[in-house]
Structure 1
């Protein structure tokens, strides 16, 4: 964490960088009789030396006036957040582009039975800041005077790497329970410790998260998973009991170990797989991938329901299939898009496929089937399968890694020879109908699947051979 003097130096440097933008805005609001403050995450990031191009402001002006003033500043404005006091704008300055949001001083609260905040506008900066989630986000800078406003010691907490709430945590979390999940996200994103009184309040008030809408919970969970180090935040949600309400399948992985310790800790294993998948994601040149990270975290959620003791062994037969169904139920409850749900469930269902072929005994047909079943999720399946090795046995880990490298090499070789990425039958549906003289219907689909299975087992063939195979198959059906 930066020292106080370093943080202050960072802020001066960052504010000078955007002075042309904020000075103009500040004068517009001053001429209208109002003050404008850079606030929240923008000030925090400036102090950390990483202010981006999204600038957040707060003001004493009401939304209608803010919109009017912004239209004098830039032609690109929007008021989709007007009901919540927020007006947005896009400002281009040479090659630079700034996204700006200005919000009227707020004094929102949640009613005990409500899933949405009651929007109320405040009349003081300090009143606005105390309603914010954490002290490190409750600092402001007067745009004109550059006066630093820090009534709740956010700069000290930023320097010490601690997350505290400006008001008593019970008050803060009662006003907006989603802040409890936000604590987990910021703990992971910033690498900060959460103050003991904040953890205690989260534990005592965990059930209050149930009044928050599924969409807002989903957004916070996704934001947490997309940080570089989500483990700390996820563990905080589990320790405080919040995960029991938003993602109960995660704490359920903390299976009680049997006296002989015949299986590894599934919860710790899942967090490790997530960490390893993030490392591989980066190593293979990918941007943060929500689907892959959800699959890594949830790949074993079918284990608690499938655990059986068979003599000296513990088994989890079909936990991949059971887990895929559980993933669909949970992600639907969190209102994730269908495309995300489908992809995550598919990865969970396939995550054991590699181990079903023993010690690298992969025929060409098995390789084709692996690629066909993975479809568009093949690269994610590579990452998940590789990450799902947390054994401390070095020989076993090396053997598994080499076997999977062999599989990826085989896939690459077959792909070059057979266009494996687009595995299809040698005849399409239109050709099948023309050859057999049949209209669209169930029989066309059956013929297509027959040819696809032949292609998977035996590789590609030329058109004449494909037609002969189709006609033989059709003839045998007619005879039957």
Structure 2
């Protein structure tokens, strides 16, 4: 009926767009397959996740470049470009701001790769905690809509389930006021950096009590001071 070009002209550009590589389907067919697999994996997927699956490759027409070294087209930066296109398109369609921002955030992050090492993996999920579990299902659906990397979908889901066996921390063990008193800081960005570092240390399993949190932050401050002065924090 031609309605795609009327309401979602950004997505209409994906129709017939050849991809190559692991993509055996043109970009629009791959997009529909990703939406299908998202709902197959997660029937109760919220609106934001569904929109993200629909828009996840919308940046490809603008980033499509032929790479003679690999002999095929590549789409470097399409996730970042796609996030901005998705944001503009969804705002134009009058979706609520919180829906738009979450969908755009999912599009921006859908190409992220999971780290191999356990501590790095927990940091990865901690830093994207506001997009979970949507991001995990989107990454899995994207892989199931391709050929030859379907196994990665189950790896993504399995590693996420493994991380959840030891739930990620929701807040730092010390408050902002406690951090300021401990490190002699005034209210400002450095307090936020200290709290972020502490939360990541908790996620990694290096810190589990308030006493360990204080010791960690004192060590963390020493490292930052040494870095600022240009001297090694572990002299030989």
TM-score by length of 1: 0.42
Post-superposition shift, 1:257?
Answer: 3.2
1:402 aligns with 2:154: yes
Choose the corresponding residue for 2:207, options 451, 455, 460.
Answer: 460
Tell me, in whole angstroms, the C-alpha distance in 1 between the residues paired with 2:193 and 2:221.
Answer: 10
Equivalent residue number for residue 432 of structure 1: 179
Task: Give the 3 Å change call, closer, same or farther, for CA 247–380 of structure 1 in structure 2.
Answer: same
2:102 counterpart (343, 367, 372): 343
Does 2:51 match 1:297?
A: no
How far off its partner does 1:255 sit?
4.7
Map of 1:42 onto structure 2: none
Q: 1:358-393: CA deviations, max 9, x gaps?
A: xxx632223212322332331212321221122344
Structure index of larger Rg: 1
Q: Determine the structure 2 residue equivalent to 1:352.
A: 111
Whether the 8 Å contact between 1:362 and 1:407 is mirrored in structure 2 is no
Change (3 A) 1:256 1:390: closer
Contact 1:365-1:459 at 8 Å conserved across structures: no
- Whether 2:145 is the aligned partner of 1:390: answer yes
Q: Are the counterparts in 1 of residues 64 and 74 from structure 2 also a CA contact under 8 Å?
A: yes
Q: CA deviation at 1:303?
A: 1.1
Do structure 1's residue 313 and structure 2's residue 72 form an aligned pair? Answer: yes
Structure 1 unaligned spans of 5+:
1-235
State the distance in 1 between where 2:181 and 2:202 align.
20
Shift of 1:295: 0.7
Which position in structure 2 is the counterpart of 1:447? 194
Of 117, 120, 136, which residue of structure 2 is paired with 1:363? Answer: 117
- Give distance in 2, aligned partners of 1:411 and 1:320: 25
Matches for 1:175-214 after TM superposition, within 5 Å: none
SS at match of 2:116: coil
Return the offset for 1:432: 0.4
Identify if the C-alpha distance between structure 1 residues 383 and 405 changes in structure 2 by more than 3 Å, giving closer, same or farther: closer
* Preserved contact between residue 172 and residue 195 of structure 2 (Cα < 8 Å): yes
Output one character per residue of 1:153-174: Cα deviation in whole Å (capped at 9) or x when no partner. Answer: xxxxxxxxxxxxxxxxxxxxxx
Match status 1:469 vs 2:224: no
Question: Comparing both chains, which one has the higher relative contact order based on Cα–Cα distances under 8 Å and sequence gaps of 6 or more?
Answer: 2
**Runs of 5+ consecutive residues of structure 2 not aligned to the other structure:** 230-236
The structural deviation recorded for 1:476 is 4.8
1:252 aligns with 2:13: yes
Q: Aligned residue pairs: how many?
A: 222
Q: Write the distance in 2 (CA, Å) between the matches of 1:319 and 1:453.
A: 29
Q: CA deviation at 1:451?
A: 2.1
Give distance in 2, aligned partners of 1:468 and 1:402: 39
The 5 Å alignment of 1:80-99 reads none
Q: Decide whether aligned partners of structure 1 residues 477 and 392 sit closer, same or farther in structure 2, where only a CA change above 3 A counts.
A: closer
The residue matched to 1:309 in structure 2 has which SS?
strand
The structure with the largest strand share of the pair is 1
**Does the CA contact (< 8 Å) of 1:299 and 1:323 recur in 2?**
yes
Q: Deviations over 1:161-220 (max 9, x none)?
A: xxxxxxxxxxxxxxxxxxxxxxxxxxxxxxxxxxxxxxxxxxxxxxxxxxxxxxxxxxxx
CA separation of 1:265 and 1:433: change in aligned 2, threshold 3 A: same
* SS of alignment partner, residue 300 of structure 1: coil
Q: Residues of 1 paired with 2:106 and 2:119: CA distance?
A: 21
Structure 2 SS opposite 1:314 = strand
Contact 1:433 1:440 in 2 (8 A): yes
Q: Is the 8 A contact 1:429 1:448 kept in 2?
A: yes
1:5-154 matches, within 5 Å, as none
